[in-house]
Structure formats: structure tokens, C-alpha cells
């Protein structure tokens, strides 16, 4: 059984971020959600706390923590605002982590200090209009010409890609397209041809030829920055190749495996936020002459919400513990992602029901939780992909 107790240092971090979430994030969450505005003042305050450097070594300006520390912070932020939580998760896990994991020392020294300080944000360009769950089918290409990579293609649903402090986006691109026996390029190595060589390349923002499209009109995560990207003959120096040539896709899969644990923490935070709001509302809302909390139907619904949250939290704690111990964790990360995202959606639905008509009003946090929850069953690998990964680990 995993030890789910927190050390004194971890508990101090959790309490610090919880207080920050209540006092700094919560008062402006509804405003930014309604205005669909990026919360620069909140991000700046998070940067001053050192949250963007949590899982990175001090020599790069980080806090010397680990993945679990980051997850604790993400969970507490998501209890009140998932947009802020995903901004931190993507900034650390998707923007900075690939550089730390796979970059050269020169690349780390060049880019990590600003990212760890929260002075800059990085983005992760994997998904494309026709390459989502099948991200190995990327059509973006990069050709080495006169000492520079010339990148062409498009990316979709890229978090933190269009803010005023976005400074880089790491993209996956075909650096050597494979051909089938017929001479046609194979989308992902099928049709009898060898697999495509997919590499990762860091593209500075801004760059000539890099177009950041209009922000998406999303169902939820309104205060999170999300844009499509178009790259037209974007030239970047050859030394912006991140990691070994041809290993970009495999490396990003490793990043996504850890990212699923962080997303699980976010989902648990949202699920817990739904419990918090439902308990408070059930105690204060009266019907038939008494608080609705005294009605067994309401009390049992909230009890089930708390049980889902506890199970999901235990799952992500276990997956994170495996990472820190250097043990295999891919199956457990998929389980945590599957269980926690379902808990978030189910809790958001039930919290809305408990609030009745008020749950359909955007002035109540549960309405925002309801809109924010669904993406958790889609982003960083759909629930169906998680089931596929789990089944494969079982030899199916």
C-alpha cells in the first residue's frame, strides 16, 4: 500500500498554496472566467512564490522539488480555478520539463531560468488538426537547410502559446519522412514503409513565419490561454533540436506519461472543490424547513463525491510515488488519469444537481467546475486511450 501521508515540508507547501488559492485566485476567478482573460496578475504572484520552478533544480532557478510537489500545488489551485491550475501544469510539465529532461546543458542554461522564474512561459506543440490521439501521424515537417531548421505545419489546442510572456514552443516535426514501397509517404510508418523520423525542435516566440491564431472559444478553461499555431518556413538554428534526432515523439510520450499524473492532480482538485462547495451549500440552503444537508438523498450524494475524490487522490499519489522511486509507472499513471477525470466529471455533475437552479448560474463556482471538468476526459490522452494503455500493460 502507498504511504499517502505528507511530510512536514509537503504539508507546509500544500497549506501555503491552499491559502494562496483562497486569498488570491478565488476572488478573481469568476471575473477572468467571464471575461475570458488571462490572469497575468495571478501568474505573476505564482511566479513570486516560486511555483513555476517547483520541480526543477536550484541551479536553474528552480525550487529543488519534484513531481509530487508540483502535483500538490496543482491540486490546491484546481480546487478553486482549473484555468490557473492548467497554466501552471502546462508551464512546468509541458513547457519547461522537455528542456530539462532532454535538453543539452547549454539549452537548459539558456531557457530554464526564465521559465522557472515564471518570467516566461513555454508551450508544447504536439497535437495537430489531423493528429490528436494518433500524434505519431504528425504532418509538420522540418528540413535542415544551411545550418537552420525550416519548419512548416500547424498545431492545434496549444496551451500557453499566445500570452504576452510566451517565449518558446517546442514542436514535434518530421525530420525525415518515410516512404512506402509505392513512393507515398506513410502517415505513421504504416503501409509497409519504415516509421517516420519525428524530432523535437524549440521554436522561439516570436519567430518570422510563426502565426498564433485567434484564441479558441472554449466550453471551459476560459482563463487559460489556448491557440492554434501555423508555421510557414520558420527558420530556427540547428542547435534548437531538443534531444536526439528522431527521438522527439518517444521523448514526448515520456513527458505525457508524467503529465497524466499532474492532470490527475488537477482533476482531484476540481473534484474536491465540488465537494467543498456542495458541503457549504447544503449546510446553508434550506428546504422544507431545514438545511438540505439533513436530507439523506443530498448527504449520500456528497458522501459518494468524497469517496470518488479519495480514491482518485490515492491513485495519483501512488503513481507519483512510483515516479519518485524510479519504478515503472505508465500503467498507474493511466489508471490515475482515467479514475480522476471520471471523478471530476461525476462530482461536477452532482454538485450542479445539489445546487439546483443556482448550479446553472455562472455566479456559483460549481457552474465553472462543470464546464471545466469535461476536458479532463480528453486532454493529455482521452479516457479511451488510457483504457488502451492499461489493457496493453495487461497483455491484451
Q: What is the pLDDT of residues 248-277, one digit of tens each?
A: 989 988 899 999 999 999 999 999 999 999
380 is catalytic: yes
- For the chain, the average pLDDT equals 93
Whether the CB-CB separation of 170 and 178 falls below 8 Å is answered with no
Q: Which residues contact 378 (CB under 8 A, 6 or more apart)?
A: none
**315 and 332 Cβ atoms separated by less than 8 Å:** yes
Q: How far apart are CA 48 and CA 52, in angstroms?
A: 9
Alpha helices in the chain (DSSP H): 8-20, 26-35, 40-49, 67-78, 82-89, 97-102, 105-116, 248-284, 296-324, 330-355, 365-373, 383-393
Query: What is the CATH number that goes with domain 250-393?
Result: 1.20.140.10
The model's pLDDT over 107-120, given as tens digits with 9 standing for 90+, comes to 999 999 999 999 99
User: Could you tell me the pLDDT band of residue 156, with boundaries at 50, 70 and 90?
Assistant: very high
Residues 6+ apart with CB under 8 A from 33: 81, 83, 222, 223, 362, 368
Residues 6+ apart with CB under 8 A from 254: 101
CA distance 282 to 291: 6
Give the pLDDT confidence score for residue 132 in this predicted structure.
62
Catalytic residue among 75, 89, 332, 380: 380
What fold, for 122-245? Butyryl-CoA Dehydrogenase, subunit A; domain 2 (2.40.110)
Rounded distance, CA 196 to CA 172, Å? Answer: 12
Which residue from 165, 193, 169, 191 is spatially nearest to 179, judged by alpha carbons?
A: 193
Domain boundaries, the chain: 8-120, 122-245, 250-393
Q: Strand pairing of 286-287 and 290-291?
A: antiparallel
% of the chain residues with pLDDT over 90: 88
Query: Torsion angle of alpha carbons 330, 333, 339, 340, nearest 10°?
Result: -160
Homologous superfamily of 8-120 in CATH? Acyl-CoA dehydrogenase/oxidase, N-terminal domain (1.10.540.10)
Which pLDDT does position 300 carry in this prediction?
Answer: 98
Amino acid at each position: 500500500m502507498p504511504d499517502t501521508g505528507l511530510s512536514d515540508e509537503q504539508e507546509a507547501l500544500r497549506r501555503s498554496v491552499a491559502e494562496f488559492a483562497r486569498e488570491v485566485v478565488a476572488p478573481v476567478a469568476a471575473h477572468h472566467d467571464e471575461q475570458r482573460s488571462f490572469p497575468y496578475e495571478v501568474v505573476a504572484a505564482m511566479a513570486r512564490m516560486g511555483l513555476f520552478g517547483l520541480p526543477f533544480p536550484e541551479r536553474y532557478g528552480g525550487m529543488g522539488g519534484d513531481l509530487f510537489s508540483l502535483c500538490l500545488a496543482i491540486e490546491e489551485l484546481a480546487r478553486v480555478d482549473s484555468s490557473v491550475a492548467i497554466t501552471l501544469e502546462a508551464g512546468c510539465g509541458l513547457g519547461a520539463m522537455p528542456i530539462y529532461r532532454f535538453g543539452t546543458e547549454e539549452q537548459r542554461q539558456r531557457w530554464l531560468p526564465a521559465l522557472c522564474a515564471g518570467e516566461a512561459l513555454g508551450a508544447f506543440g504536439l497535437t495537430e488538426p489531423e493528429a490528436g490521439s494518433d500524434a505519431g501521424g504528425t504532418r509538420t515537417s522540418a528540413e535542415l537547410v544551411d545550418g537552420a531548421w525550416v519548419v512548416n505545419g500547424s498545431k492545434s489546442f496549444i496551451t500557453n502559446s499566445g500570452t504576452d510572456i510566451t517565449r518558446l514552443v517546442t514542436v514535434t516535426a518530421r525530420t525525415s519522412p518515410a516512404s512506402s514501397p509505392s513512393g507515398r509517404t506513410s502517415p505513421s510508418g504504416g503501409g509497409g514503409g519504415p516509421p517516420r523520423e519525428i524530432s523535437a525542435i524549440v521554436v522561439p516566440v516570436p519567430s518570422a513565419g510563426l502565426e498564433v491564431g485567434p484564441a479558441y472559444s472554449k466550453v471551459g478553461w476560459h482563463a487559460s490561454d489556448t491557440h492554434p499555431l501555423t508555421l510557414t518556413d520558420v527558420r530556427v538554428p540547428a542547435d534548437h533540436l531538443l534531444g536526439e534526432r528522431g527521438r522527439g515523439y518517444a521523448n514526448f510520450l515520456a513527458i505525457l506519461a508524467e503529465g497524466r499524473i499532474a492532470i490527475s492532480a488537477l482533476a482531484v482538485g476540481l473534484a474536491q472543490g465540488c465537494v467543498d462547495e456542495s458541503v457549504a451549500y447544503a449546510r446553508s440552503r434550506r428546504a422544507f424547513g431545514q438545511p438540505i444537508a439533513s436530507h439523506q438523498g443530498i448527504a449520500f450524494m456528497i458522501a459518494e463525491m468524497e469517496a470518488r475524490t479519495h480514491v482518485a487522490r490515492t491513485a495519483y499519489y501512488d503513481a507519483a510515488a512510483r515516479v519518485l522511486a524510479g519504478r515503472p509507472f505508465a500503467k498507474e499513471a493511466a489508471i490515475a488519469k482515467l479514475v480522476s477525470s471520471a471523478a471530476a466529471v461525476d462530482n461536477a455533475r452532482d454538485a450542479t444537481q445539489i445546487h439546483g437552479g443556482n448550479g446553472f448560474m455562472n455566479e456559483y463556482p460549481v457552474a465553472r467546475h462543470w464546464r471545466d471538468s469535461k476536458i479532463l476526459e480528453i486532454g493529455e490522452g482521452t479516457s479511451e486511450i488510457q483504457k488502451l494503455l492499461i489493457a496493453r500493460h495487461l497483455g491484451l
